[in-house]
């Protein structure tokens, strides 16, 4: 199933499914996969990723805006694969504030203040979303 509209059922996955995996590719074709603490639901067509460290992902998407996000939903025995395209970065506004607040809450509670710090909310347009349902482990041991 492919769609450019995010379904409602993905919202709790985004809230609870950290960490997510983000894959990007440089202009010269070198891929990179990393884990990311926060994928934020912006609207049905957009998500935001936290830009905390100037890493390869940040550099790659500014060269090549195409990326994919893998969201794990261990409670639903599923994962979601989003094909996204980097659109722009926000350093203020409600989306940035909400993401910043969550990071600040976690960082201050875990002794990571100054390390977890939101530099920008990178806004991505969702090109496609796909849910992959996993087979539940059998409880029948006989």
Q: Which is nearer to another protein, 109 or 142 (CB)?
A: 109
CA distance 74 to 13: 9
Residue 3 DSSP symbol: B
Q: What minimum distance in Å lies between the beta carbon of 17 and another protein?
A: 7
For position 108 contacting another protein by CB under 8 A, the verdict is: yes
Of 97, 130, 132, 133, the one binding another protein by CB under 8 A: 97
- CB 137, CB 64: distance < 8 Å: no
Of 31, 63, 88, 115, the one binding another protein by CB under 8 A: 115
Closest CA to 20 of 33, 39, 7: 39
For position 95 contacting another protein by CB under 8 A, the verdict is: no
């Amino acid at each position: 199933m492919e769609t450019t509209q995010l379904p409602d059922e993905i919202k709790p996955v985004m809230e609870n499914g950290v960490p997510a995996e983000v894959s990007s590719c440089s202009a010269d074709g070198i891929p990179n996969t990393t884990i990311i603490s926060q994928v934020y639901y912006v609207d049905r067509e957009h998500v935001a990723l936290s830009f905390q460290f100037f890493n390869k992902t940040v550099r790659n998407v500014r060269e090549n805006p195409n990326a994919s996000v893998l969201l794990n939903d261990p409670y639903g025995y599923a994962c979601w694969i989003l094909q996204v395209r980097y659109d722009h970065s926000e350093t203020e506004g409600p989306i940035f504030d909400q993401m910043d607040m969550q990071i600040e809450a976690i960082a201050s509670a875990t002794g990571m203040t100054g390390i977890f710090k939101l530099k920008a909310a990178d806004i991505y347009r969702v090109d496609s979303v796909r849910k992959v349902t996993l087979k539940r482990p059998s409880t029948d041991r006989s």
